Amino acid sequence: MRNVLKILCMAVLLSGCTALMVGNGSSSGGQLGKGERTEEQIRQDAVTTAAVSSRLAADSQVGGFNIGVETFASRVTLRGTVNSFEVRMRAQELANSVDDVVSVSNQIQVVNQQ
């Protein structure tokens, strides 16, 4: 009887460990919450950021400006300053032309417009 009680106690205690190991430590069974990404999504966003940055740097109109690029869930955000609305729009066109880009938030500011 005593051994049965010990086994029952162990089973109850270990059942919580199983959820911890299988569910990745979350009570939701390892599902990602809002704003969380898998390692693959993080890697893909980094690849997208690099591709957009390369296109901007290689472009004759946009390349001379310091434009920051961030990507989250294939949505690209551009930040920085340029000297004309045309350059601002060209940066957005280049970002949109990269594979896997879902949308572009163009937060580039135009200063000293020519």
Tens digit of pLDDT per residue, the chain (114 long)?
A: 555 444 544 444 444 443 333 344 444 444 555 667 899 999 999 999 999 999 999 999 999 999 999 999 999 999 999 999 999 999 999 999 999 999 999 999 999 866
Q: What pLDDT does residue 32 have?
A: 52
Strand partners of residue 70: 77
Sign of CA pseudo-dihedral 27, 28, 34, 38: positive
The count of other CB atoms within 10 Å of the CB of residue 84 is 14
Q: Pull the structure tokens for residue 101.
A: 């880009």
Q: What pLDDT does residue 113 have?
A: 67
